[in-house]
């Protein structure tokens, strides 16, 4: 199936082509016809699968048609998302797919002045991509009329629940028309999410993307055993060996993010940090610098980075293993977006081994192990320029290792 064959407006097809999408991804193939058919959808899909366009393409088409039939000016679709970064990013996807149509999307989120947002709303918006908190506030103050909503999208519903947005979501639902189309997207599913989903959708089409291997096929990922105190030296090495590549380094806490950044600074490596202590302006600046490639190493915590789509991230380093196993999938999913290839390496210390076991249980299979022998370890810690161990070489081994059972205690010569 090609995008050309979908019954969608020619303008949207041109925009898809301009974005360089050649054929639909799995989630797009499964959801676009159902959404165009005005069905409710309940989809389990991680970021990186192309899920934003999976709902944006048909939603824009449906609203475009309504506008051609002179529907009244009003907000027709609300997309609820967990973070302001995600709100901005999804709005960008909507607006690039809606070019040359009259459909307009706008991002609404907290932590910033509300008056400019209110002014923008009065200029006319068709699709509102919003975090539940600010949406709730503006509606309570009477600035938002949600009575003409025809489509409700919940994106990253599991993350919204984790962030405690359930109350806001339930309150907001009361103000939406009962007769509407609901599209529910979550990366994971459990009893709580199912309960919320089934309270919102009606006779939904269920879609599940790669349930067996939650890490996308185009991402090579592996783990190296590296003790806590040695991690910074190995990180320095990985960064130097991947000159020119964009890299996200995940750490457990915001304090650690700053410490790792300081350690890299000492080694003469520029990095950016993003975590919840940074204000909105700072986070936006950091994301811009990273997107533009001004600084190519971003040190992040889980919460701040979830759902962010940064094109061309070549490498993910799990400096610390994530405490919640499913975050492993979200983290490595920052690379290998869409059809691109990506690489990820995790540093696992002795203390973190139980966490690695949990991650492997979640993935349903072991993560490929990279052998780091004593010579290599000493070499990295000695700061020598010798290149016996290169992450590049070892990453190349991953493909081979994936074909064979995990080799325990394998020594690299």
Contact residues for ligand AMP, defined by CB under 6 A: 21, 24-25, 28, 47-53, 309, 311, 337-339
| Cα–Cα distances in angstroms (integers) from residue 138 to residues 90, 150, 281, in the given order | 20, 19, 21
* Minimum separation from the CB atom of position 213 to ligand AMP (A): 16
Choose between 52 and 131: whose C-beta lies nearer to ligand AMP. 52
Q: Considering the complex, what minimum distance in angstroms separates the CB of residue 83 from ligand AMP?
A: 13
Residue 403 burial by Cβ neighbours in a 10 Å radius (0-12, 13-18, 19+): exposed
Q: Name the residue nearer to ligand AMP (CB basis): 187 or 200.
A: 187
Torsion sign over Cα 395, 401, 402, 407: negative
Contact call for residues 319 and 251 (beta carbons, < 8 A): yes
Give the residue with the Cβ less far from ligand AMP, 57 or 356. Answer: 57
User: Quick one: 52 or 95, whose CB is closer to ligand AMP?
Assistant: 52
Closer of 11 and 309 to ligand AMP (Cβ): 309
The CB-of-50 to ligand AMP minimum distance in angstroms stands at 3
State how far the Cα of 307 lies from the Cα of 159, in Å rounded to an integer.
9
Dihedral sign, CA of 283, 21, 36, 29?
negative
* Closer to ligand AMP by Cβ: residue 81 or 355: 81
Please state, in angstroms and rounded to a whole number, the distance separating the CA atoms of residues 105 and 125.
6
What minimum distance in Å lies between the beta carbon of 407 and ligand AMP? 33
Longest dimension (CA), the chain: 72
Q: Which residues of 128-161 are buried (b: 16+ CB within 10 A; e: fewer)?
A: bbbbbbbbbebbeeeebebeebbbbbbbbbbbbb
At closest approach, how far in Å is the CB of 64 from ligand AMP? 19
Q: Nearest distance from residue 57's CB to ligand AMP, in Å?
A: 9
> Rounded to the nearest whole angstrom, what is the least distance from the CB of residue 368 to ligand AMP in the complex?
24
Smallest gap from Cβ 70 to ligand AMP, in A, equals 31
**Minimum CB separation from ligand AMP for residue 266, in Å?**
34
Q: Which is nearer to ligand AMP, 265 or 312 (CB)?
A: 312
Calculate the CA 250 to chain-centre distance.
Answer: 14
Distances 120 to 84, 105, 364 between C-alpha atoms, Å: 17, 11, 47
Contacts of 69 (CB under 8 A, 6+ apart): none
- H helices, E strands: number in the chain: 17, 14
Closer of 109 and 347 to ligand AMP (Cβ): 109
Residue with Cβ nearer ligand AMP (85 or 309): 309
Place of tokens 């520029």: 270
The token pair that represents 125 in the structure block: 């918006």
CB of residue 69 to ligand AMP, shortest distance in Å: 28
Minimum Å gap between C-beta 299 and ligand AMP is: 21
Q: Which is nearer to ligand AMP, 151 or 209 (CB)?
A: 209
User: Residue 283 or residue 337: which is nearer to ligand AMP going by CB?
Assistant: 337
Dist. CA 319–CA 226, nearest whole Å:
10
Contacts of 385 (CB under 8 A, 6+ apart): none
- The residue with its CB nearest to ligand AMP is 338
Edge-first strand listing for the sheet containing 41-44: 105-108, 127-130, 77-80, 151-154, 181-186, 41-44, 205-208
């Amino acid at each position: 199936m090609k995008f050309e064959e979908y019954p969608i407006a020619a303008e949207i097809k041109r925009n898809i082509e301009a974005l360089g999408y050649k054929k639909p991804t799995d989630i797009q193939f499964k959801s676009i016809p159902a959404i165009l058919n005005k069905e409710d959808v309940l989809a389990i899909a991680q970021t990186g699968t192309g899920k934003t366009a999976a709902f944006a393409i048909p939603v824009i088409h449906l609203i475009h048609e309504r506008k051609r039939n002179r529907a009244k000016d009003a907000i027709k679709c609300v997309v609820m998302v967990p973070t302001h970064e995600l709100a901005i990013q999804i709005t960008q996807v909507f607006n690039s797919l809606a070019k040359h149509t009259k459909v307009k999307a706008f991002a609404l989120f907290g932590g910033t002045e509300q008056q400019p947002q209110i002014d923008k709303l009065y200029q006319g918006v068709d699709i509102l991509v919003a975090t539940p908190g600010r949406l709730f506030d503006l509606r309570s103050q009477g600035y938002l009329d949600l009575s003409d909503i025809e489509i409700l999208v919940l994106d990253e519903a599991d993350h919204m629940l984790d962030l405690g947005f359930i109350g806001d979501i339930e309150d907001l639902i009361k103000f939406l028309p009962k007769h509407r189309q609901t599209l529910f997207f979550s990366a994971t599913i459990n009893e709580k999410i199912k309960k919320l989903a089934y309270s919102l959708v009606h006779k939904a089409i269920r879609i599940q993307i790669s349930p067996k291997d939650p890490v996308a096929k185009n991402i090579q990922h592996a783990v190296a055993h590296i003790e806590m105190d040695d991690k910074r030296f190995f990180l320095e090495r990985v960064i130097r060996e991947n000159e020119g590549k964009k890299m996200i380094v995940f750490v457990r806490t915001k304090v650690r993010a700053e410490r790792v950044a300081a350690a890299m600074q000492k080694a003469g490596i520029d990095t950016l940090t993003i975590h919840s202590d940074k204000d909105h302006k700072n986070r936006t600046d950091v994301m811009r610098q990273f997107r533009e490639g001004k600084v190519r190493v971003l040190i992040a915590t889980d919460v701040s980075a979830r759902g962010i789509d940064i094109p061309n991230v070549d490498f993910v380093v799990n400096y610390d293993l994530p405490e919640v196993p499913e975050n492993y999938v979200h983290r490595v999913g920052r690379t290998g977006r869409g059809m691109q290839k990506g690489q990820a390496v995790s540093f696992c210390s002795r203390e973190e081994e139980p966490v690695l076991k949990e991650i492997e249980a979640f993935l349903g299979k072991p993560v490929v192990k990279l052998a780091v022998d004593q010579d290599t370890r000493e070499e990295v810690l000695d700061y020598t320029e010798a290149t016996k161990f290169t992450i590049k070489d070892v990453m190349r081994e991953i493909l081979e290792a994936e074909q064979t059972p995990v080799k325990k205690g394998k020594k690299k010569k």
